[in-house]
């Protein structure tokens, strides 16, 4: 009973916050609602007993991806009224795209076929006594190891692509070479100084002591200038 | 009594009681951490530190808290009100929330869940939201700059921290925090994984925005960083959250590397001290080093901080992870008999 109540509560918040992501006027609020949606999705995973997926969802999406989203959205200088002006003009195109996607979904759902042992697997997804972290690992690194590695490779290519696109090697840009700085010699010297030794003993020059130091002239403080003390 | 505890209401009451038993000492610990930090810093700088309120200045944290409560809460007119008020609450709540899975002794955790370390990592990676929301909602350039710095910094150091945790997990074969401690009964992980301990400690400094990585709040350049606009209790919540996070990171280091509740040697005088006390001693040691570092090192420049995170720690921790995996595989030490 409690699990059912929790499920409906989290699902309701999830859908409500997903709607708010699309409808809220401020993009920063949108991202924050997106984070709330991720959270509730993680809670649904927890209710389904998939604790590993729930935690990974929070770590990856909320802890890293959404932070960068928020980071970018906060720094963008967006003119909100300009965005809303174009709404009427682009609404038909958006509607058509939405319809095409919807039709495709229906098509996929209609022609969906399950594997032969899917029903049995769904009833008993993992052997009793095996944590789901271990269960996922057993499948991911055996049956699906090539797909798993391939997806990693795709992400790597995307990352390198992003770096290549944004990296600009301007010749006039000043760069630091930390190794060179640390290993430089000659310009600054460290000397072992015996404690208690005077400067003269160490051979460090200083102005001769016997010359009478020129005393700074005392500033005349006469009241003739009208200064009031 | 047992029958009552089995009912949903009983479970709720028990959990609340357990949470109170953990959080009340924790908050008192936070209060005294601020006092201890000032005392230790003072000793290192040859000053006296707080010594007026109560014996040895011991009542100073409570005097400070009372002062904070009495002050007026100021909300800037340009601020996004709801988010402005939410940000310190998020910071404080997350700092408290993470303690649910910390095992203080054998079987002494409020929730001894299977994926404890992931939970802890998830919660600590959320800490950045309190900072970034505070910076944005304040509608002030200093606060915003501090928040941006902090977001980049925390995300950067989380990566190498993740690799450190994975290395420890390779040696344990479980994501459960109690299992991680139990795996260190013979030898603490600080001995075989010493370089990772160093990386973890420095990353923890960066993650909690402590000196020498306190750029998000850098007093001399950003006034006070992301919480410039905060006053009174909302400021106090940030302050408490930051110190609670320090204790949390120390607890995490204790669990991962310093053998949790185990005594350093399994012989007579050491084993007389109960486990939770050892746990607290180890946390206190880590906290002392936190303060020691603050008194010793000047602040990093921002590009140096990023370089350290991405170009030094990330390759180093990755290398050590691969090395650990190789050694475990070659010598057949992998847990779980794979």
Q: Tell me, letter by letter, the H, E, C secondary structure of B250-299.
A: HHHHHHHCCCCCCCCCCCHHHHCCCHHHHHHHHHHHHHHHHHHHHHHCCC
Does A46 contact B at CB distance below 8 Å?
A: no
Q: Tell me, letter by letter, the H, E, C secondary structure of B62-98.
A: HHHHHHHHHCCCCCCCCCCHHHHHHHHHHHHHHHHHH
A2 and A69, same domain (yes or no)? yes
Give chain B's residues under pLDDT 50.
Answer: 337-338
- Assigned domain for A62 exists: yes
**Tokens coding B62:** 């409570």
- Assigned domain for A175 exists: no
- Report how far residue B280's alpha carbon sits from residue B278's, in angstroms, rounded to the nearest whole number: 5
The CA distances from residue B103 to A197, B137, B165, B170, B197, in Å, are: 56, 36, 17, 20, 20
Subunit contact A62:B122, Cβ cutoff 8 A:
yes
- Among B113, B127, B129, B173, the strongest candidate for a mutation testing the A interface, having the largest count of A CBs within 10 A, is B129
- Among A50, A63, A77, A126, the strongest candidate for a mutation testing the B interface, having the largest count of B CBs within 10 A, is A63
DSSP state of A24: -
Task: Give Cβ neighbours of residue B96 (< 8 Å, ≥ 6 apart).
Answer: B23, B26, B244
Subunit contact B125:A131, Cβ cutoff 8 A:
no
Location of structure tokens 């946390």: B283
To the nearest whole Å, the CA of A71 is away from the closest chain B CA by 7
Location of structure tokens 């404690």: A195
Please answer whether residues A67 and A74 qualify as being in contact, where contact means their C-beta atoms are separated by less than 8 angstroms.
Answer: no
Closest residue on chain B to A130 (Cα)? B114
- Assigned domain for A31 exists: yes
Final residue in a domain of this structure, among A77, A103, A123: A77
Final residue in a domain of this structure, among A165, A188, A216: A165
- Assigned domain for A69 exists: yes
- Burial environment of residue A199 by CB neighbours within 10 A (0 to 12, 13 to 18, 19 or more): exposed
pLDDT at B129: 87
- Assigned domain for A158 exists: yes
- Report how far residue B249's alpha carbon sits from residue A68's, in angstroms, rounded to the nearest whole number: 24
Q: Quick check: ipTM above 0.95? A: no
Query: Residues A187-209: pLDDT tens digits?
Result: 777 777 777 777 666 666 666 66
Count of domains in chain A?
2
A135 and A69, same domain (yes or no)? no
CATH number at residue A69: 1.20.120.1200
- Assigned domain for A98 exists: no
- Assigned domain for A157 exists: yes
pLDDT at B233: 83
Tell me which chain A residues have a C-beta less than 8 angstroms from the C-beta of B115.
51-52, 55, 133
pLDDT at B83: 87
Does A7 contact B at CB distance below 8 Å?
A: no
Please answer whether residues B295 and B40 qualify as being in contact, where contact means their C-beta atoms are separated by less than 8 angstroms.
Answer: yes
pLDDT at B304: 83
Tell me which chain B residues have a C-beta less than 8 angstroms from the C-beta of A50.
none
Subunit contact A52:B144, Cβ cutoff 8 A:
no
Final residue in a domain of this structure, among A12, A42, A77: A77
Location of structure tokens 């959404």: A66
Does B83 contact A at CB distance below 8 Å?
A: yes
Subunit contact A63:B126, Cβ cutoff 8 A:
yes
Subunit contact A55:B152, Cβ cutoff 8 A:
no
**Tokens coding B275:** 């486990």
Range of A155's domain? Answer: 131-165
pLDDT at A227: 44
Q: How many Å separate Cα A226 from the centre of its chain?
A: 67
Query: pLDDT tens digits, chain A, 229 residues: what are they?
Result: 788 899 999 999 999 999 998 888 888 888 889 999 999 999 999 888 888 899 999 988 888 888 888 888 887 766 666 666 677 778 888 899 999 999 999 988 888 777 777 777 777 666 667 778 888 888 888 889 999 999 999 999 999 999 899 887 777 777 777 788 778 777 777 777 777 777 666 666 666 666 555 555 555 555 544 444 4
Does B310 contact A at CB distance below 8 Å?
A: no
- Assigned domain for A26 exists: yes
**Tokens coding A23:** 């409808």
Subunit contact A74:B119, Cβ cutoff 8 A:
no
pTM of the model: 0.82
- Among A3, A5, A74, the strongest candidate for a mutation testing the B interface, having the largest count of B CBs within 10 A, is A74
To the nearest whole Å, the CA of A141 is away from the closest chain B CA by 13
pLDDT at A211: 56
């Amino acid at each position: 009973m409690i699990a059912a109540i929790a499920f409906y509560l989290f699902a309701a918040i999830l859908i409500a916050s997903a709607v708010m992501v699309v409808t809220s006027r401020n993009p920063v609020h949108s991202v924050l609602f997106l984070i709330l949606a991720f959270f509730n999705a993680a809670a649904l995973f927890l209710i389904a007993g998939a604790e590993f997926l729930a935690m990974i969802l929070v770590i990856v999406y909320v802890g890293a991806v959404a932070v960068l989203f928020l980071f970018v959205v906060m720094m963008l200088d967006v003119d909100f009224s300009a965005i809303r002006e174009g709404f009427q003009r682009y609404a038909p195109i958006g509607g058509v795209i939405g319809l095409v996607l919807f039709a495709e979904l229906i098509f996929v759902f209609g022609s969906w076929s399950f594997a032969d042992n899917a029903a049995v697997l769904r009833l008993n997804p993992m052997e009793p006594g095996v944590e789901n972290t271990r269960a996922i690992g057993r499948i991911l690194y055996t049956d699906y190891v090539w797909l798993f590695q391939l997806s990693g490779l795709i992400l790597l290519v995307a990352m390198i692509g992003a770096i290549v696109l944004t990296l600009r090697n301007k010749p006039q840009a000043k760069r630091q070479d930390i190794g060179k700085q640390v290993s430089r010699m000659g310009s600054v010297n460290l000397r072992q100084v015996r404690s208690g030794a005077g400067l003269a003993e160490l051979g460090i020059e200083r102005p001769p002591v016997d010359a009478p130091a020129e005393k700074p002239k005392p500033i005349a403080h006469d009241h003739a200038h009208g200064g009031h003390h | 009594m047992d029958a009552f505890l089995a009912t949903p209401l009983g479970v709720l009451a028990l959990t609340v009681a357990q949470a109170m038993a953990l959080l009340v000492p924790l908050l008192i610990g936070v209060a005294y951490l601020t006092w201890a930090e000032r005392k230790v810093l003072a000793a290192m700088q040859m000053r006296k530190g707080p010594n007026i309120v109560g014996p040895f200045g011991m009542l100073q944290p409570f005097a400070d808290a009372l002062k904070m409560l009495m002050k007026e809460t100021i909300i800037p007119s340009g601020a996004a009100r709801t988010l402005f008020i939410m940000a310190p609450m998020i910071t404080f709540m997350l700092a408290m929330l993470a303690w649910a899975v910390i095992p203080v002794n054998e079987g002494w955790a409020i929730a001894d869940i299977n994926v404890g370390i992931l939970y802890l990592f998830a919660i600590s990676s959320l800490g950045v939201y309190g900072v970034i929301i505070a910076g944005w909602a304040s509608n002030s350039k200093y606060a915003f700059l501090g928040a941006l710095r902090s977001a980049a910094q925390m995300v950067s150091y989380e990566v190498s921290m993740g690799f450190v945790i994975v290395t420890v997990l390779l040696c344990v074969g479980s994501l459960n925090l109690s299992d991680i401690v139990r795996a260190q009964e013979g030898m603490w992980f600080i001995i075989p994984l010493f370089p990772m301990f160093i990386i973890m400690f420095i990353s923890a400094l960066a993650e909690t925005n402590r000196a020498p990585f306190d750029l998000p709040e850098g007093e001399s350049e950003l006034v006070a960083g992301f919480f410039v606009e905060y006053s009174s209790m909302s400021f106090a919540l940030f302050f408490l959250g930051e110190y609670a996070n320090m204790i949390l990171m120390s607890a995490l280091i204790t669990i991962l590397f310093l053998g949790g509740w185990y005594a350093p040697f399994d012989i007579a005088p050491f084993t007389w001290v109960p486990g939770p006390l050892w746990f607290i001693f180890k946390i206190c040691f880590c906290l002392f080093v936190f303060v020691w570092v603050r008194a010793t090192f000047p602040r990093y420049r921002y590009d140096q901080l990023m370089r350290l995170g991405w170009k030094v720690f990330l390759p180093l921790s990755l290398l050590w992870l691969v090395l650990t995996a190789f050694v475990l595989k070659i010598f057949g030490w992998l847990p779980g008999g794979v």
